[in-house]
């Protein structure tokens, strides 16, 4: 952690900055995985909604 002290003795703490890097475009396999996860999430949320509707 980077710390400085001003003339009045007050400390200023600065967080360390992470290294910046450029994101890479996902591969075909990763895209298929994201599509599967999205479809699974839609099925899950729909089933929760239908169960809530059925119970009420």
Q: Which sequence spans correspond to the domains of the chain?
A: 26-56
Q: What angle do CA 47, 51, 56 make, to 5 degrees?
A: 150
pLDDT at residue 39, as a whole number: 98
For residue 17, what pLDDT is reported?
80
Measured CA to CA, the distance from residue 50 to residue 52 in angstroms comes to: 5
Which residue in 23, 1, 21 sits closest to 12, CA to CA?
1
The pTM score is 0.58
Q: What is the pLDDT along the chain (56 residues), one digit of tens a residue?
A: 567 777 787 887 777 788 999 999 999 999 999 999 999 999 999 999 999 999 98
């Amino acid at each position: 952690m980077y710390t400085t002290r001003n003339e009045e003795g007050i400390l200023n703490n600065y967080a360390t900055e992470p290294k910046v890097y450029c994101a890479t475009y996902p591969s075909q396999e990763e895209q298929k995985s994201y599509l599967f996860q999205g479809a699974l999430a839609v099925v899950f949320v729909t089933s929760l909604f239908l169960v809530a509707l059925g119970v009420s």
